[in-house]
A and B are shown apart, each in its own frame.
Chain A
Amino acid sequence: MSVEIFIEPGRAERNYWKDLWRYRELFYILSWRDVKVRYKQTIIGVVWSVLRPLLTMMIFTFIFGQVAKFDSPPGISYGLLVFAGLLPWQFFATGLSEASNSLVGNERLISKVYFPRMIIPASSVITSLVDFLISLALMFGLLIWYQTVPSIYLVFLPLFIIMAFLASFGVGLWLTSLNVKFRDFKHVVPFIVQIGLYISPVAFTSDKAASIIPAKLHLLYYVNPMAGVIDGFRWCFFGDKTPIYWNGMFLSLAVIIIFLFIGIRTFRKMEKSFADLI
């Protein structure tokens, strides 16, 4: 069986998604490469993915918990609260930074071989998922350490993981395609990641944020899609002690879907000129 294709300017490929499926092995292997390369020539290797969130948590606990005296809802120790927020945030942040640099970082591949380009940012987000899973295991370790029983809502956690994945994939797709043309975005991403950590409810609960900002603007806080995701994570772990503000959750979800849509559209539109522009 042989495939027949037409190469024409502006031809929308009818079987784009099918093509993506056909190239899935490349997707696996690129993800595998990124995972494998990540800790090459390091001494402690994969321990870094444990150490990083753990150290961040300790610093946060010290600065915000001890110095700034942020409090946590009764029954949840502050460290645990922070870690539950850091978990999705770091997944999002690494996913986003890796994805937005992915096309430019794989310049040689793009200018020398054909494959559906979407594989590249997708595989880089997957790579950060590996880090995330390690951190998740650590979270369970911490739950035991703090002798906290996770709530029954934990079964919904996969949904929020998917949500976080889509958030970083959507924005990542958008930024990485723009980055091919305008390298300005390379400088924008670290900034987003840095600011985002402080405005997202990582060091505090979103209730706390709600108590500071005017009630009318409460909903607006969830334009930051990670606010919804982090709330969701905490809800899964701590149940009704950290309730979900559903209107906000839906707004976050909507923002994620819109970004995903914009991301895919921009990416598809620019995809064919990547090799010329990169």
Chain B
Amino acid sequence: MSEIVIKAEGLGKKYIIGHKATRGYKTFREQVLQHVSNFYSRTKKLVSGQEVLEGDQLEEFWALKDLNFEIERGDRVGIIGKNGAGKSTLLKVLSRITEPTTGKVFVKGRVASLLEVGTGFHHELTGRENIFLNGAIMGMSRAEIKRKFDEIVDFSGVEKFLDTPVKRYSSGMYVRLAFSVAAYLEPEILVIDEVLAVGDAEFQKKCLGKMQDVSSIEGRTVLFVSHNLMALSSLCNKGIYLKNGQVRSQGGIEETLSQYTREGMESLTTEWIGNTGDEYVKIYRTKVFCAESPHGFFTHKDIIIEIEGEILKPVYGLIIGFWLFSQFDYQLAYSLFDDTDPSMEIKMHETGKFLKRFIIPANTLAQGSYRIQFDFGIHNLKLIVQNKECDLEFSVENIAGLGRKYLVDHKGFRSLFRTSWSQEKF
């Protein structure tokens, strides 16, 4: 099983980008002179066969730098990284679309790359014709396409429109047809770039199921770029994390994903330390963290919110709590520290330091990003902290939690709501 099918050594890809020297104001004479000199230098480049770039200052940009990795037969490798980390460039190099600047890659086996759905689809051609065209572009032989034709059509669900030019298709139909062709590719190595974000939820499910078959049942090597960490965690067994064109870490998918989310978290405020409040109450620290994992937040673990402060004067009706907002500022929940007290009586709070802790149980929040806005005040009297200075943000990933099987979590629900299923046998 441990046969190496892809091996990269010192792989690098350099681009040269141009910058314009910006000077606000130019006289007409300067402009004319510049055009003349541009013309001259471009002609020189044309004759000597160099590249022509817009701009006066050139800068080298390494999209990939000194990459080393090995991929074994049957591995399903998830490639993660922020935008511009070099993921797509890597796929392009591996599928021989562009040539590396340094280093080398050894590839064993037929590679099919799916960097875009429907590559080479021609708008004027009918669905039927496009299946053959696209199949051939992806490297299938005519006989192969003929053999799988019915399955492809069946999978896509557009049989009614097979003889309609694809320009008349809805965008969903178009993408479904395109993906269906790709789904029936049978290369030894399949390279896929973020293509699952297509079609409606039902079709996405179908695609992921198909992908799972391709990798786990048919035992093919798959390289898969995606920002959908959940899809990665359920499809892949290994991960490569790229950062600024370099391999940041590689190994098992879970470790790689958690390192990635951990680093992604660094830009979010998960802890605030300071001093805010009034003569009654002071707040010194707010913090949100995930139990047992010091950096990332995961749906399958408890998430803990802590508030540290001090009561300076005895006070009635103290309010300490928070709002939980999900993405797009949707108000998800509101909670006060004495919510769990069953009595209706408004109590007196004595002076002294406090540490209040709220626990969001594991498998409560769905994956996504959240914001905590704190509420400090005295009931019916005043707000103590009005600004949002001690607000916190965090972002939860589902890499081992519930609800991953059919990627329900992916559909935009903010809560997992997975606590109370039971069954009886009849």
Contacts and interface: CB of A to CB of B under 8 A. Distances in A.
B190 to A, nearest CB: 13
Interface residues of A, number: 34
A182 B110 contact: no
Given A108-B120, A182-B46, A272-B98, A4 B108 contact: yes
A161 B220 CA distance: 47
B391 interface: no
Nearest to B95: A114
Interface string A175-186: 000000110000
A2 interface: yes
B165 interface: yes
Contact of B104 (A2, A8, A108, A114): A8
A41 interface: yes
Contacts of A25: 136, 141-142
B113 A112 contact: yes
24 contacts: A3-B108, A3-B109, A4-B108, A5-B106, A6-B105, A7-B93, A7-B106, A8-B104, A26-B136, A26-B137, A29-B132, A29-B136, A30-B136, A33-B122, A33-B129, A36-B125, A37-B125, A110-B97, A113-B119, A113-B138, A114-B95, A114-B113, A275-B92, A275-B97
Given A2-B188, A25-B142, A40-B124, A181 B52 contact: yes
A40 B115 contact: no
Given A26-B136, A36-B129, A113-B137, A7 B96 contact: yes
Number of chain B interface residues as a range: 35 or more
A41 B164 CA distance: 12
Given A36-B129, A273-B99, A7 B105 contact: yes
Contacts of B138: 113
B124 A29 contact: no
A56 interface: no
B100 interface: yes
A40 B166 CA distance: 13
Nearest to A271: B99
Contacts of B139: 26
A74 interface: no
Contacts, number: 106
Interface in A221-278: 269, 272-273, 275-277
A7 B97 contact: no
B96 A114 contact: yes
Given A25-B142, A29-B136, A275-B98, A5 B107 contact: yes
A109 B115 CA distance: 10
A3 B119 contact: no
A36 B123 CA distance: 12
A45 interface: no
Interface string A117-133: 00000000000000000
B102 to A, nearest CB: 6
B275 interface: no
A36 B130 CA distance: 12
B207 interface: no
Interface centre among A7, A36, A269 (most CB of B within 10 A): A7
Contacts of A29: 132-133, 136-137, 142
Given A4-B107, A36-B129, A109 B120 contact: yes
Interface centre among B108, B111, B139 (most CB of A within 10 A): B139
Contacts of B51: 181, 277
Nearest to B129: A36
Interface in A67-123: 108-115
B242 interface: no
B153 interface: no
Given A41-B124, A112-B116, A3 B110 contact: yes
Contacts of A276: 15, 98
A41 B103 CA distance: 49
Given A6-B105, A9-B99, A111-B97, 11 more contacts: A5-B106, A9-B100, A29-B133, A36-B125, A40-B125, A108-B119, A110-B97, A112-B97, A113-B115, A115-B137, A277-B51
Nearest to B46: A182
A33 B125 contact: yes
B228 interface: no
Contacts of A2: 108-110, 188
A7 B94 contact: yes
Interface in A23-51: 25-26, 29-30, 33, 36-37, 40-41
B101 interface: yes
A3 B106 CA distance: 11
A33 B107 contact: no
Nearest to A41: B124
Which 9 interchain pairs have the tightest Cβ spacing? A114-B96, A8-B104, A29-B136, A272-B99, A7-B105, A40-B124, A275-B98, A112-B119, A2-B109
B125 to A, nearest CB: 7
Interface in B310-330: none
A272 B113 CA distance: 17
A40 B99 contact: no
Contacts of A7: 93-94, 96, 99-100, 104-107
Contacts of B97: 110-114, 275
Interface centre among B102, B108, B113, B136 (most CB of A within 10 A): B136
